[in-house]
Amino acid sequence: MPAIRVHFVLLPGSLILDWAGPAEVLRAANQSLQAQGREALFGLHFIGPQPETTSSVGARIGQIAPLPSLAADLAGEPGCDWVVLVGHPGHSVDVDNTPARALLHWLRGLRPRAGRLELLCVCAGALYAAHAGLLANRQATTHHEHLDELRAADPTCQVQANRVFVLDPPVASSAGVTTGIDLFLHMVATHAGAAIAAQVAQALVVALRRGPADPELSPFLHHRNHLHAAVHRVQDAISQQPQQDWTVPAMARVAHTSERHLARLFAEHAGVSPLAYLQGIRLTVAEAALASGHNVSQAARFAGFSSDAQLRRTWHRLGRPGRPGLAAG
């Protein structure tokens, strides 16, 4: 059974891209994980107060499961549940109708906790969370047309404008429509790894991006905003096995091209040379090893550097502050 159960809440008129886009991100992530011999991580469920409904574009959606008793089920089930709230077309969200009232009643019974029960709001889905009291004293965002409405729904909510998405665990919210895909790519990177997120973005032909207040993208995602399959193939191979004895000829064999042509492809599509990309990935792996308590020699070995000295030279050449592994000598 997948470790993360994802419950997409569908109401009449739910904006189809708000839930179909994120669902495709998770489906593609499972596919990439299984291609590597790993278990699928995300279980997709579609729930709501009605067994069938009509989407924003008129498509009829059936076999919608009832709103589950997550608060009770969490006591005995391993793993984590995500509840995904999505928006609707229009300039305001109507919460004074039978399906919306049923949803709000259900939401008020939830007790989100990081790593157990998390709430993800796409577009105007944040309005339902606010009306249910789940955004009290939290940072959140929504579609720019609904920002004032969100402030009115819960004056204690710290509404953030001009953000792609906002994280305030166990709650996350995105600005609307396609930014739900950005949020779920971030969630995939967090739980399945940045390399898997990059593969998903490539498969869905999505440009990875970040919001103004998000932390810098992982170096595993840098130089990936392109569509060239051969370059992605090399980047995937390096990201998955940075310790391998990578040379330009070895990379060229992965790309099925000549060394000279590979260099041109990387310059044109990734904006960096193959070896510079490799050094960036290796340095990221070394930094993670150092942060987890390994000494410089261990970090260098994990990351594929030939020696402590090579790690230190790369560290300073790429402008990292201080000295790597200072405490470890």
Residue 174 host element (H or E):
strand 171-174
Q: Are residues 58 and 198 in the same domain?
A: yes
Give pTM, 2 decimals. Answer: 0.73
pLDDT at 112 over 70: yes
Mean pLDDT lowest among 49-53, 83-87, 303-307:
303-307
Tell me the pLDDT of the chain averaged across its residues.
88
Strand 53-54 relative to strand 60-61, pairing: antiparallel
pLDDT in tens, 238-249: 988 899 999 999
Q: Are residues 197 and 294 in the same domain?
A: no
Answer whether residue 163 is part of any domain: yes
pLDDT of residue 327: 37
Answer whether residue 277 is part of any domain: yes
How many CA atoms are closer than 13 Å to the CA of 284, on its beta-carbon side? Answer: 20
pLDDT at 206 over 60: yes
Q: Are residues 173 and 233 in the same domain?
A: no
Q: Which domain holds residue 142?
A: 4-203
pLDDT in tens, 6-38: 999 999 999 999 999 999 999 999 999 999 999
CATH number of the domain residue 243 falls in = 1.10.10.60
pLDDT of residue 291: 76
Mean pLDDT lowest among 66-75, 144-153, 177-186, 226-235:
66-75
Q: Are residues 233 and 197 in the same domain?
A: no
pLDDT of residue 266: 96
pLDDT at 39 over 80: yes
Q: Are residues 193 and 245 in the same domain?
A: no
Q: Are residues 275 and 179 in the same domain?
A: no
Answer whether residue 119 is part of any domain: yes
**How many structural domains comprise the chain?**
2
Segment 294-308 mean pLDDT? 89
**Beta carbons of 286 and 311 less than 8 angstroms apart:** yes
Segment 115-135 mean pLDDT? 96
pLDDT of residue 219: 67
Q: Are residues 268 and 133 in the same domain?
A: no
Strand 165-168 relative to strand 171-174, pairing: antiparallel
Which amino acid is residue 200, in one-letter code? V
CATH number of the domain residue 62 falls in = 3.40.50.880
